[in-house]
Amino acid sequence: MDLKSFIRDIPDFPKPGIIFKDVTPLLKNPEAFKGSIAELKKAASEWNFDIIVAPEARGFIFAAPLALEMNKGFVPIRKPGKLPYKTISKSYSLEYGNATLEMHIDAIEKGSRVLILDDVLATGGTIKAIAEMIEEAGGEVVGIITIIELSFLEPRKKLDKYRVEALIKY
């Protein structure tokens, strides 16, 4: 299935000059959505991991069904103030600003092997912040997988110590 045909470009979102890669048409189509989960599972099945970690909001949409499909746990990464228990946090730069993410302090057990999943890999800032939180908690990042990679932004430079896979590259 050509998943790329289900990705819509939104010019000037969230600010002028950015072309946002919108996955909602893919999610709207049951066969494309199932196909994306199947492709993620195929890629992820090569790695030995215990848990899938994903940031809100679109990362959740793909990570939760993949975790169920692969019989793995799922850990949500959220914006500040959204998690009810004690958290660790990390601030980072985005393509169009700055942000902070949080994770429960007990979400990753020491020695856990972790797969990070998100919908889009742009500059690598979000994923790098997540990887640093996982490592600070004592986990090991075994790989990063995304639906889309914006290769022209060179995100792998920030993530050069990790294995990175993307289903679609621009």
**What residue ranges define each of the domains in the chain, with the CATH number in brackets?**
48-169 (3.40.50.2020)
Of residues 39, 95, 132, 140, which has the active-site annotation? 95
Whether 139 contacts 166, CB under 8 Å: no
Q: pTM here? A: 0.94
| Digit-coded pLDDT (tens) for 147-166 | 999 999 999 999 999 999 99
Whether 94 contacts 122, CB under 8 Å: yes
* Unique residue bearing structure tokens 């993410």: 101
pLDDT at 163: 97
Active-site annotation holds for 95: yes
Active-site annotation holds for 58: yes
